[in-house]
Amino acid sequence: MTDTIKRRGLMLVLSSPSGAGKTTLSRLLLEADPNIVMSVSATTRAKRPNEVDGKDYFFVTAEKFAAMASGDEFFEHATVFGNNYGTPKKPVMDALAEGRDVLFDIDWQGAQQLKEKARDDMVGIFILPPSHDELERRLHTRAQDSEEVVRQRMAKAADEIRHYPEYDYVIVNRDIDVAHAEVKAVLNAERARLSRQIGLSDFVSTLVGKD
Amino acid sequence: MTDTIKRRGLMLVLSSPSGAGKTTLSRLLLEADPNIVMSVSATTRAKRPNEVDGKDYFFVTAEKFAAMASGDEFFEHATVFGNNYGTPKKPVMDALAEGRDVLFDIDWQGAQQLKEKARDDMVGIFILPPSHDELERRLHTRAQDSEEVVRQRMAKAADEIRHYPEYDYVIVNRDIDVAHAEVKAVLNAERARLSRQIGLSDFVSTLVGKD
């Protein structure tokens, strides 16, 4: 008998304040699971020498970006320091249809916009640091950081953290390996969700049907 | 800093047709994770010599059972071959409040009643056999089983299987170790759900608050 169950991929959104370990978690997930791909944003900012078009970003002109925006080709887009950034829909929808999961490393505003456009496909995880002291320690990125700079970073982190109730799951990153295992558990569980298994009714028909 | 997050336990319901491996999965879960306890039913049927009161069942009189039923002390109850069976609420609610997860090995009718009374605490997983042939093979429990007996068991299995869409997750048991890992992933993911983490807002206050 042929196994008729296919799986629709899911959009896994990781958000956290900077200093909570989100970047490390994303890297671990991508390394450990070839079925996960990272969402690549489009941007109008200039490509830096070490960046690869289509891997780090899709580098596009302002005209192209505006055309994509007016054509509703983005899940979400924003302007930061005069440059435009957006998440193109098509590569994500193609990956989901092929059963691949797409990882998004975005802030609460991006997550909110994504949720509006793709509620059924999206799973949101918020990563929290283990303590105030540890967060502050991680926000001291350089020895010469002034108290004022750290205070500003802390205020920005606090703004992000206040949005944790908008996520499906919350993981406190006390230990990176434990947090990684928890994110993988969420991914594996969400893959087993009824709604993501396409062809389940056909498979069940083969189970209960006559010989 | 004290970690203020506590977790409310969850009610993990495993349902499947007989022959899909549910009993083995339940045993593996209970063995591997001391935080999981099995729900113990109350029954009016006579205790068998090898059974232990409070472990296999709570053995109660018909009068006691009727009083519990009229006092709304059961999540669900049913009569099978003249004996009453019911799931007492109190031990389950106590375990959940202590952060322990409670495992239920019940059929779709029991699951439906449980869902009506405890929707937020309940997570339902339906276990499917890998194929029609494998299911039929497992339903031949004795060499001398007549075709008619197997046909009856198959019809009963088909009735159960048709209720898979009422569950949150569906796992096809092609390999018991893989299926066990998938059930554990569901359990670990559901433990990380926002709604099950009590005291999260207090914890977040300690993160974003002043020194």
Considering only CB atoms, which chain A residues are within 8 Å of B190? 189
CA distance A138 to chain B (A): 13
**What is the spatial distance between Cα A196 and Cα A169, in angstroms, rounded to a whole number?**
18
Domain A6-198 has CATH 3.40.190.290: no
Contact call for B193 and A161, based on CB within 8 A:
no
Least CB–CB distance from B194: residue in A1, A169, A194: A169
What is the pLDDT at residue B18? Answer: 86
Query: For B150-170, what is each residue's pLDDT tens digit?
Result: 888 889 999 999 999 999 999
Contact call for A131 and B207, based on CB within 8 A:
yes
If you compute the radius of gyration of chain B from its CA atoms, what whole number of angstroms results? Answer: 20
Considering only CB atoms, which chain A residues are within 8 Å of B182? 188-189, 192
CA distance B119 to chain A (A): 17
Contact call for B161 and A204, based on CB within 8 A:
yes
What is the pLDDT at residue B51? Answer: 95
Mutant choice from A147, A208, A211 vs B, greatest count of B C-beta within 10 A: A208
From first to last of the 211 residues of chain A, give the pLDDT tens digit: 456 788 899 999 999 998 888 989 999 999 999 999 999 999 999 999 999 999 999 999 999 999 999 999 999 999 988 999 999 999 999 999 999 999 998 889 989 999 999 889 999 999 999 999 988 888 887 677 788 888 888 899 999 999 999 999 999 999 999 999 999 999 999 999 999 998 899 999 999 875 4
Mutant choice from B7, B163, B208 vs A, greatest count of A C-beta within 10 A: B208
CATH of domain B6-38+100-206: 3.40.50.300
pLDDT band at B172 (very low <50, low <70, confident <90, very high): very high
Least CB–CB distance from A162: residue in B1, B170, B208: B208
Please answer whether residues B5 and B189 qualify as being in contact, where contact means their C-beta atoms are separated by less than 8 angstroms. Answer: no
**What is the spatial distance between Cα A73 and Cα A84, in angstroms, rounded to a whole number?**
14
Query: For B3-34, what is each residue's pLDDT tens digit?
Result: 678 889 999 999 999 888 898 999 999 999 99
Chain A residue with minimal CA distance to B166?
A194
Chain A residue with minimal CA distance to B194?
A169
* CA max distance for chain A: 75
Considering only CB atoms, which chain A residues are within 8 Å of B186? 188-189, 192
What is the pLDDT at residue B5? Answer: 82
Query: For B182-204, what is each residue's pLDDT tens digit?
Result: 999 999 999 999 999 988 999 99
Least CB–CB distance from B170: residue in A3, A162, A200: A200
Chains A and B: how many Cβ contacts under 8 Å? 114
- Report the predicted TM-score, pTM, of the whole model to 2 decimal places: 0.89
CA distance B77 to chain A (A): 27
**What is the spatial distance between Cα A25 and Cα A48, in angstroms, rounded to a whole number?**
25
Considering only CB atoms, which chain B residues are within 8 Å of A129? 207
Q: What is the dihedral of CA A136, A139, A144, A145, to 10 degrees?
A: -90
Contact call for A129 and B207, based on CB within 8 A:
yes
What is the pLDDT at residue A192? Answer: 95
Residues of chain B whose beta carbon is less than 8 angstroms from a beta carbon of chain A are: 1, 3, 5, 125, 128-129, 131-133, 135, 157-158, 161-162, 164-165, 167-172, 181-182, 184-186, 188-190, 192-194, 197, 200, 203-204, 206-209, 211
Q: What's the helix, strand, coil split of chain A in %, to 5?
A: 45, 25, 30
Burial of A121 (0-12, 13-18, 19+ CB in 10 A): buried
**What is the spatial distance between Cα B147 and Cα B140, in angstroms, rounded to a whole number?**
9
- The packing angle between helices B147-161 and B132-139, to 10°, is 130
Chain A residue with minimal CA distance to B128?
A204
Query: For B81-130, what is each residue's pLDDT tens digit?
Result: 899 999 999 999 999 999 999 999 888 998 999 999 988 999 999 999 99
Contact call for B194 and A167, based on CB within 8 A:
yes
Which is nearest to A74 in space by CA: A83, A82, A84? A84
> What is the complex's ipTM, to 2 decimals?
0.86
